[in-house]
Amino acid sequence: MLKQRAKAFYVVVLAAAVGYFVYSTNSAGSSHPFRLGLDLSGGTHLVYQADVSKLDPSSIADSMAALRDSVERRVNTFGVSEPLVQTQENSALSSAQAAYKLIVELPGVTDTKQAEDAIGATPDLEFRIASSSALNAFQTSAAATGTTTPLADNPAYLALFQPTGLNGSLVGKASVEFNQTTNQPLVGLTFNAAGKDLLDTVTKEHIGDYLGIFLDGQPIEVPVIQSEIPDGQAQISGSFTLDQAQTLVRNLNYGALPIPISLISEETIGPTLGQEAVAGGVEAGLISFVIIGLFLIVWYRLPGLVATLALAIYAALMLALFKLVPVTLTAAGIAGFIITVGMAVDANILIFERMKEELRSGRGIADAMHEGFARAWPSIRDSNVSSLITGAILYEFGSTSVITGFALVFFIGVVVSMFTAITVSRLFLYAVAPARTTKGSLFLINNGFRKPSAAPGHPRE
């Protein structure tokens, strides 16, 4: 008995530490905050239609995966916290083109225009060459001096630049760099193997000419080729701000999307609505815990008190896992958690009812508890395994974040509830159970308000 109580004490101390971790890391700026989904934190929900009409049917799946990865990289570079990017196929639609969609959720982003610009931009980067003599002659000609049209919009000026074959697909990597003298932001370019050779040829043949860098048909920089660039390492310098340099780097790195997409739906959820959802979920969870705890204590007395303590430990473990895994909580996920709060005591109820039957058959308290746990285990195991299978199927085949969010929390909740309802409850019950079987101890261990039908020591029927 003393050994069981010592173990129970250590479990209580550990559970208190877990609870303190959950409480102390709930402040703003914490290293382990709760990660809230779009419906709880507010943000933007975008749905894009993917144009797969020009794709071979056998390559659609791979192209959609590449689209998802490309958009996900753009969103991550954009600085969105916990974005969700997923593709969706609706085989029930008769039109193959209408069946493929891209869903993007950006928690904390309420500027839809900014979000659309970050996702949907399809920049076309190319490098064009213009001879220094032709460009210098044009800048002093009437075509340049007799108009107020900027050079970047002057067709005659743009016509001087001829394609070189260098484009964004040959850029291996772009990065933000800084001029060591002026600290001015620069954009460094590293070309891939094919681009390196072509850049070497172009720069070697056109030293002193202008290499125009065009983005979406507009010149962004027109540097003079000072020397041959044999190593594929180049720099774009100019009057960039840091934001402009970072935006250019993002566009250069991720280039055009592999499949054309068009925005068909957008929804913005404000932070206030998300806070109301969080408050409602917390309130529902507390109310459910209190009601379940009162029922257990009133109806099952001492075992019910033990089950309530185990339920509190279950809640602390679940909240800690939400922070450490980490799980992105949505309204559906909170609903799944609240459901598992009720499921967490199912095993206890089966055990306590089995204990009641053993007590009524004449067993002592210790034997009744042992048999109650042993005989209730097959039913508990089978019901929880079936719940785990259901949760796994929902998570694997769920087509939306609502379903997968619910399934993940539900699955974790079932696993944790099996531990607290069996291991923790058993340990606590053995630690506090009366050592002797008397009428008073029977009242504490039994449930309901009926008098036990068999006196202590009565032979088992």
pLDDT tens per residue, range 71-129: 776 676 555 556 778 888 765 444 455 578 888 888 777 777 777 776 765 556 788 99
pLDDT by residue (tens digit) across 27-41? Answer: 666 777 777 777 777
Contacts of 284 (CB under 8 A, 6+ apart): 334, 338
Q: Which residue has the higher pLDDT, 207 or 43?
A: 207
Chain position carrying tokens 């002026």: 182
Residue 391: is its pLDDT beyond 80?
yes
Name the one residue in this structure whose structure tokens are 């291996």.
172
Whether the Cβ atoms of residue 367 and residue 454 lie closer than 8 Å to each other:
no
Better-scored residue on pLDDT, 119 or 178: 178
Mean pLDDT throughout 45-71?
Answer: 80
Contact criterion met (CB below 8 Å) for 448 and 22? no
Spatial distance between the Cα atoms of 138 and 146, rounded to a whole number of angstroms = 11
Residue 40 per-residue DSSP state: H
Tokens of 346: 């199912």
Of 9-18, 398-407, 422-431, give the lowest mean pLDDT range: 398-407
Helix pair angle (346-360, 365-397), 10° resolution: 150
Determine contact, residues 14/317, Cβ cutoff 8 Å: no
Return the pLDDT at 246: 80
* Location of structure tokens 């070189």: 164
Binning pLDDT at 50, 70 and 90, where does residue 458 land? very low
Q: How far apart are the first and last CA of the chain?
A: 29
> Which range scores top for mean pLDDT: 64-73, 197-206, 321-330, 346-355?
197-206
Identify the DSSP state of 457.
T
**Helix extents (H) in 51-141:** 60-78, 112-120, 132-139
On whether the CB atoms of residues 61 and 90 are closer than 8 A, the answer is no
User: How confident is the model at residue 124, as a pLDDT?
Assistant: 63
SS3 (DSSP) at 191 = strand
Percent of the chain whose pLDDT exceeds 90: 6
Is pLDDT larger for residue 25 or for residue 164? 164
Q: What is the model's pLDDT at position 420?
A: 86
Give the pLDDT band of residue 165 (cuts 50, 70, 90). confident
Q: Which two tokens stand for residue 158?
A: 């743009």
Q: Measured on CA atoms in the order 396, 399, 401, 406, is the torsion positive or negative?
A: negative
Q: Provide mean pLDDT across the span 16-22.
A: 88
**Does 330 or 298 have the greater pLDDT score?**
298
Checking if the pLDDT of 176 tops 70, the result is: yes
Decide which of 93 and 441 is more confident: 441
> What element of type H or E holds 375?
helix 365-397
The answer to which of 23-32, 165-174, 283-292, 410-419 has the lowest mean pLDDT is 23-32
Angle in degrees, 0-180, between the axes of helices 401-418 and 365-397, rounded to the nearest 10: 160
Q: Which amino acid is at 192?
A: N
* pTM value surpassing 0.95: no
Contact 336, 458 (CB under 8 A): no
Determine how many CB atoms are found less than 10 A away from the CB of residue 308. 22
Q: Among 140-154, 219-233, 359-373, where is mean pLDDT lowest?
A: 140-154
Nearest to 310 by CA among 348, 282, 351: 348
CA gap 444, 449 in Å, rounded: 11
Q: Which of 71-75, 290-294, 315-319, 456-460 has the lowest mean pLDDT?
A: 456-460
